[in-house]
Amino acid sequence: MTKKINIKINILTSKLVLCLLMLFMLSGCSGGREINDLEIVIGMGVDKDEDTGNILLTAQVVKEGEMEKSSGSGGGGGDGKAFWNVTGTGESVFESVRQITHKTGNRLFVSHNHVIIFGKDLASEGLQKYIDFFLRAHEMRPTAIILIAEGRALDVMNAKPETEKLPAMNIAKLVKTYGFTSHFYKVNMKDFASCLMCDSRSPIAPLVGVSKDGDNKDIYMSGMAVFKNDKMVGRLNEDETRGLLWVLGKVKSGVLLISFPNKQGKAAFEILEAKSKVIPEIKDGKIVMHVKIKAESSLSEQTTAEDLATIEAFEKMQKAQAEVIRQEIMAAFDKSRELNADVFGFGEMIRKKHSNKWKSLKDKWDEIYQTIELNTDIEVKIQKTDLLKKPASPKKEEK
């Protein structure tokens, strides 16, 4: 009796053990790799190789040993750089990535890739064939930031920042903190691809340039690149970009500068909050976009001695700010019409609101976009004047 039970239990346990073994043996994630065998890539650049016309891929690899050393004592060995821009060429991105292993010895580990920079010549040629790998590879992050270099991506990645050790991390930080001015915008691979796949919307991507000041190379953000389909067709300058962001409701903060027409002097406001609402309307076959914007600001600086903390002055200034915002929006709108690129995503908004009519509009959207009217309703409220009520000015002038 007990013998039988025992045998039964033995069969049961052996089955269990077999199940467990299968769980471990047959599951996919058994590929461990030691950290020492990884080349951690934090940024990648794609350029065109001028001689061959092939892809020139730059991968920014972290030199962990150099990261540990304090920046002051950089002596040690080598040039004290904490990164290594290693390049590979090939006819496709993937081929170039593998080509790089001829130089690194280890496989590139791209899960921590933060920025992907494309050269301007590639961008105007069309990005579709270059971004496929970055979206398809399972190690890549769809949240990596996409940028367009004013010149070559390699030059951007070579510019060593003064405070950060890694150029790619510095660029990522720059883009992520766009909110200080709202003069450019963060676009990641996922956003870019979804814009690209959309019927009407034109993708945008921040532009990054290198300024040379003697030996120093500094990176700066210079507005946004505008794409028509996958080709870069033009750019938005800083004000135009903010005009775009006002409509999208993505303005975080920034400076609104107004000048007084009669008196000399300016007042600067900090944008505290901005909300937008866009309602598309189709009236007798004509499309009107109603843009409602509500913004709050605080008086941060004034160059006149006038006491601005009065109700009349506030009303005037609020109107003046609204006018500045309107001008920015219109500038962006005019530019987008000039480029015939729907960067606002108005087409998408119409598709969502008037989906039945969108089907007829879809095919000739390029022509229709030129005829869209923009109706703005902007309301700005000044919340506070920060620490001062009256400007610190000598008394004489006030009289």
Please check whether residue 224 is in contact with residue 207, taking contact to mean a CB–CB distance below 8 angstroms: yes
> Is 199 an interacting residue with respect to another protein (CB under 8 A)?
no
> Is 355 an interacting residue with respect to another protein (CB under 8 A)?
no
Residues 147 and 187: their CA atoms lie apart, in Å, by: 8
- Furthest-apart CA atoms within the chain: distance in Å: 114
Provide the terminal-to-terminal Cα distance of the chain, rounded to the nearest Å. 114
> Is 70 an interacting residue with respect to another protein (CB under 8 A)?
no
- In 239-312 the beta strands, taken as DSSP E runs, fall at 255-259, 266-283, 286-302
DSSP, collapsed to helix, strand or coil, labels residue 120 as helix
> Is 26 an interacting residue with respect to another protein (CB under 8 A)?
no
If you write DSSP's letter for every residue of 307-371 in order, what string do you get? ---SHHHHHHHHHHHHHHHHHHHHHHHHHHHHHT-BTT-HHHHHHHHSHHHHHHHHTTHHHHHHH
Residues 36 and 399: their CA atoms lie apart, in Å, by: 74
Position among 6, 106, 229, 393 found at the interface with another protein (CB under 8 A): 6
Smallest distance from another protein to CB 88, Å: 22
> Is 160 an interacting residue with respect to another protein (CB under 8 A)?
no
> Is 22 an interacting residue with respect to another protein (CB under 8 A)?
no
DSSP, collapsed to helix, strand or coil, labels residue 293 as strand
Position among 1, 26, 36, 53 found at the interface with another protein (CB under 8 A): 36
Q: Which is nearer to another protein, 106 or 375 (CB)?
A: 106
Beta-bridge partners for 273: 296
* Token pair for 259: 């000048």
> Is 176 an interacting residue with respect to another protein (CB under 8 A)?
no
Position among 38, 137, 196, 313 found at the interface with another protein (CB under 8 A): 38
Position among 32, 72, 261, 285 found at the interface with another protein (CB under 8 A): 32
Stretch that binds another protein, among 23-31, 84-92, 156-164, 279-287 (CB under 8 A): 23-31
How long a stretch of residues is the chain?
Answer: 399
Please check whether residue 93 is in contact with residue 133, taking contact to mean a CB–CB distance below 8 angstroms: yes
> Is 23 an interacting residue with respect to another protein (CB under 8 A)?
yes
Question: Which of 204, 217, 205 lies closest to 170, judged by CA?
Answer: 217
Q: Which is nearer to another protein, 29 or 392 (CB)?
A: 29
> Is 59 an interacting residue with respect to another protein (CB under 8 A)?
no
Q: Which is nearer to another protein, 32 or 285 (CB)?
A: 32
Smallest distance from another protein to CB 75, Å: 18
Please check whether residue 96 is in contact with residue 57, taking contact to mean a CB–CB distance below 8 angstroms: yes
Q: Region of 288 please: left (phi>0), alpha (psi -120 to 50) or beta.
A: beta
Smallest distance from another protein to CB 266, Å: 41
Position among 1, 26, 27, 356 found at the interface with another protein (CB under 8 A): 27
Stretch that binds another protein, among 20-28, 45-53, 204-212, 242-250 (CB under 8 A): 20-28
Indicate the DSSP class of residue 178. G
Residues in 102-141 that interact with another protein by CB under 8 A = 109, 111-112, 114, 139, 141
Q: How many chain residues touch another protein (CB under 8 A)?
A: 32
> Is 64 an interacting residue with respect to another protein (CB under 8 A)?
yes
Q: Which is nearer to another protein, 33 or 389 (CB)?
A: 33
Interface contacts to another protein, rule CB under 8 A: 2-3, 6-7, 10, 20, 23-24, 27, 29-36, 38, 40, 42, 62, 64-65, 67-68, 109, 111-112, 114, 139, 141, 169
